[in-house]
Structure 1
């Protein structure tokens, strides 16, 4: 038996009522599938699907999120593929759609993430588990302060050489706002490259160096301190800012601690 649903890109997807062979092309959504209680049903994941480690290490790797191997996926013969508009390469997704049901998420903020979790829970017959995860997330975010007067300004770096930041229209920007910070590059769009001079002129109170996708470490702090001597510079957990699945259950507590900074 099959069912037809719409994904977050408003595309119809026809899939089995109970999918038994799932390939996930997004790390945060892979972690979500395991959190929903799926094990045997997950047959393929990307090289970047690292959580939960004891589970993902035993699954067939299908390549990266952008350059996944279509032939490997075909050999897995999935009855459901789960991807994301931003994280996956459109050409490869369109190729997969010719042979398999592909459900795509499209996420810009917390509301989109909650919607995705509930929809995926329904896709795989884990509605109550999804609702429980969503409740935990919503309860966590509900206790975050809604305002910080005046809000602390921040620049959130995702890449080095060239410098790239998270700006407006990104999930990270929504998380920064919920954490009580004002993005100094909020007037820019998506993930722009910026210069050291632009950063100097922005004069953020804080500079957050994300642990992913670029693996910023403590050794990089001085480079940014030289540009903005008065800024507080921290390496932050990029997964808690950008993974929009079950990991969000831990994000609010982490943001609360960041919000207590001077």
Structure 2
């Protein structure tokens, strides 16, 4: 009998589809939006943090996929009471994607498809690592929220991914994975401030505000899906970031009025 999968992790919902399992996906969160033409047909069961357990139960799933950062422990424990298989994921660095692909490939008999993704990832990773050897290292403040300002710690997937390109996030040490910060306190200590498109959707009009608080740093928008989404999107993400840092290096020599101030597309 085919699996009946409820996925509560947006990036992994996309991965499930890319493994050829879209017809076995019976439930998703409202944030699971890729690939849209496919997932728009699949019932929503709430958000990542406010899962509607009654909706999940009504779908009679055989498997649920959750994530340590995206979902709560209480949700995972509640799902275990009526779902035979609850798969817990927690990629913390780019190469953790290989284990993620293979874990789902083994769980749903998609080993060949998983290995194809592994091969594509290894190629993109090798290209990124080789190119990084030629670039100067940067100190980066990566903002994910406003009011209060919030950033990421170095043990997060985002930070580890940026580090592959020689962009090292601050603070260097933090007891919180997503600490609240005083943006102005980083003035003179960072080369770049990156404003993510998620979970807070920073836009162009936020750039002057941040630039005034951190004079001397280059401030730009960045596509959060390309930095924070593991799974199959990570392959695209590595290539996006390679272009992003290359464009940054080129624009560093331009006059201030011509420097890039919006997300690379």
Q: TM-score, normalised by structure 2?
A: 0.88
Give 1:259 deviation, angstroms: 2.1
Tell me whether 1:21 sits opposite 2:4 in the alignment: yes
Pairing of 1:126-165 with structure 2 (within 5 A):
126-144=110-128, 145-147=131-133, 150-165=136-151
Give 1:180 deviation, angstroms: 1.9
SS of the aligned residue for 1:239 comes to: helix
- How far apart are the structure 1 equivalents of 2:229 and 2:2? 24
Give 1:19 deviation, angstroms: 4.2
Tell me whether 1:173 sits opposite 2:156 in the alignment: no
Which structure has the highest strand share of the two?
1
Unaligned runs of 5+ in 1: 1-17
Q: Which residue in 2 is equivalent to 1:107?
A: 91
Instruction: Return closer, same or farther for 1:142/1:186 CA change in 2, 3 Å cut-off.
Output: same
Pairing of 1:1-262 with structure 2 (within 5 A):
19-100=2-83, 101-144=85-128, 145-147=131-133, 150-189=136-175, 190-200=177-187, 203-260=189-246, 261-262=248-249
Asked if the contact 2:184/2:214 (under 8 Å) is kept, the reply is no
Q: Which residue in 2 is equivalent to 1:13?
A: none
Asked if the contact 2:132/2:164 (under 8 Å) is kept, the reply is yes
Which structure has the highest helix share of the two?
2
Give 1:126 deviation, angstroms: 0.8
Give 1:229 deviation, angstroms: 2.1
Give 1:179 deviation, angstroms: 2.0
Q: TM-score, normalised by structure 1?
A: 0.89
Give 1:251 deviation, angstroms: 1.3
- How far apart are the structure 1 equivalents of 2:201 and 2:50? 20
- How far apart are the structure 2 equivalents of 1:245 and 1:136? 12
SS of the aligned residue for 2:23 comes to: coil
What is the aligned length?
244
Asked if the contact 1:19/1:80 (under 8 Å) is kept, the reply is no
Asked if the contact 1:23/1:44 (under 8 Å) is kept, the reply is yes
Asked if the contact 1:180/1:259 (under 8 Å) is kept, the reply is no
- How far apart are the structure 2 equivalents of 1:123 and 1:215? 34
Unaligned runs of 5+ in 2: 250-265
The Cα offsets for residues 192-238 of structure 1, whole Å up to 9 and x where unpaired, read as 0001332225x311111010000011111011110122111111010
- How far apart are the structure 2 equivalents of 1:87 and 1:148? 35
The Cα offsets for residues 24-64 of structure 1, whole Å up to 9 and x where unpaired, read as 00000000000011122100000000000001111000000
